């Protein structure tokens, strides 16, 4: 595994924790100077909060750790392409580099639904997608397959 | 004053609290069934957090108050046009109606920089801008004028 894949593997293990809590499995880590400074996973259902996506929670944790809102020199790794909210938060936090796993055709803000990096903002991160693509896509498809199966079983009772 | 102006006046008074704490003065309220369920203002400098815009904090408060992430039937009032992050959060929280004051030519995601309502998302709010336009614009121009004056005085010392 190369460095990007190693950090993505860490994001995948966080996504698996989300799945165990019946959350859509998305995990994120933020790395600076070769060190993971923030880890988070999606908790939208558990915390009943619309903003609690993995990336947003990781950015908030990284701001706390670094004691400031500019995450200069940081790379954000996330298992799924960020949505508009999270891509906007990445701009607001001035994160210079984003690495994601699988694309999100419905909500992805880095080319799938629209591309925030093509809009003339004051900060545009470098974005790399498709890292550990198969594993990150399987995370989601396995989760939804399992969920459909459970729903079907419940209806049959 | 009509109803939208009354709630915008409340958002303005919150923005003034932000200015007193040397934050960029933006205030937001969320209204549901004729009642203000969340109030917030920008605290990015004080809390040193990139995501602490008025709208995001108000959405998080409204989720806590209502005990769920879908803010159905809510209207968000904010003194300045939302950025990409906040417009994305409005989608994620399924807020049906947004009313803002002055435009944000640099970051505004409802027509100034780009228009998130033109992107085929699963949820598109109704958006109305320009409510109490003069007062909401003056909030910001007064704040930045004062800040420039203070910076100049400090440099002269």
Pick the residue of B52, B62, B88 with the most A CBs within 10 A to test the interface with A by mutation.
Answer: B88
Which residues lie closer than 8 Å to B34 by C-beta, 6 or more apart?
A: none
Give one word for B41, left, alpha or beta, with left for phi > 0 and alpha for psi -120 to 50. beta
What was the pLDDT predicted at B148? 92
Are A60 and B49 an interchain contact pair (Cβ–Cβ within 8 Å)?
Answer: yes
Which residues lie closer than 8 Å to A72 by C-beta, 6 or more apart?
A: A94, A96
The label of the residue with tokens 């209207």 reads: B75
Of A130, A117, A126, A51, the closest CA to residue A85 belongs to A51
What was the pLDDT predicted at A125? 98
Are B85 and A88 an interchain contact pair (Cβ–Cβ within 8 Å)?
Answer: yes
pLDDT above 90: residue B155: no
pTM of the model: 0.96
Interface predicted TM-score of the whole assembly (ipTM), two decimals:
0.95
Q: State percent of chain B over pLDDT 90.
A: 94
What was the pLDDT predicted at A59? 98
Residues of A in contact with B114 (CB under 8 A): 119
What was the pLDDT predicted at A155? 87
Are A48 and B56 an interchain contact pair (Cβ–Cβ within 8 Å)?
Answer: no
Nearest to B92 among A64, A83, A119 (CB): A83
DSSP H stretches of helix in chain B: 3-20, 54-66, 84-92, 133-156
Question: Tens of pLDDT along chain A (157 residues)?
Answer: 999 999 999 999 999 999 999 999 999 999 999 999 999 999 999 999 999 999 999 999 999 999 999 999 999 999 999 999 999 999 999 999 999 999 999 999 999 999 999 999 999 999 999 999 999 999 999 999 999 999 899 888 7
Residues in chain B: 157
For chain B, the residues whose C-beta falls within 8 A of a C-beta of chain A are 44-45, 48-53, 56, 59-60, 63-64, 67-71, 83-89, 91-94, 106-107, 109, 113-114, 116, 119-122
Quickly state the pLDDT bin for B157 (edges 50, 70, 90): confident
Structure tokens at A114: 């629209």
Rounded alpha-carbon distances, angstroms, from residue B37 to A78, B66, B73, B76, B100: 33, 8, 12, 10, 17
Nearest to B51 among A45, A92, A106 (CB): A92
| Residues of A with a known catalytic role | 55
- What average pLDDT does range B93-98 have in this prediction? 98
pLDDT above 90: residue B60: yes
Q: What secondary structure does DSSP assign to B23-50, as a single string?
A: S---EEEEEETTEEEEEEE--TTTTT-T
Quickly state the pLDDT bin for B35 (edges 50, 70, 90): very high
Are B88 and A93 an interchain contact pair (Cβ–Cβ within 8 Å)?
Answer: no
What was the pLDDT predicted at A156? 87
User: pLDDT by residue (tens digit) across B5-34?
Assistant: 999 999 999 999 999 999 999 999 999 999
| Residues of B with a known catalytic role | 55
């Amino acid at each position: 595994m190369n460095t990007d894949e190693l950090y993505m593997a860490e994001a995948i293990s966080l996504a698996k924790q989300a799945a165990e809590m019946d959350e859509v499995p998305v995990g994120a880590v933020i790395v600076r100077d070769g060190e993971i400074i923030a880890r988070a996973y999606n908790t939208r259902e558990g915390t009943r909060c619309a903003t609690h996506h993995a990336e947003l929670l990781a950015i908030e944790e990284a701001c706390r750790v670094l004691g400031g809102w500019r995450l200069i020199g940081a790379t954000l790794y996330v298992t799924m392409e960020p949505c508009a909210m999270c891509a906007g938060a990445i701009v607001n936090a001035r994160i210079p580099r984003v690495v994601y796993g699988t694309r999100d055709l419905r909500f992805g803000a880095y080319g799938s639904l629209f591309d925030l990096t093509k809009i003339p903002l004051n900060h545009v991160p470098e974005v790399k997608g498709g890292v550990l693509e198969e594993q990150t896509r399987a995370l989601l498809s396995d989760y939804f397959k399992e969920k459909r199966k459970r729903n079907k079983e419940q209806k049959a009772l």
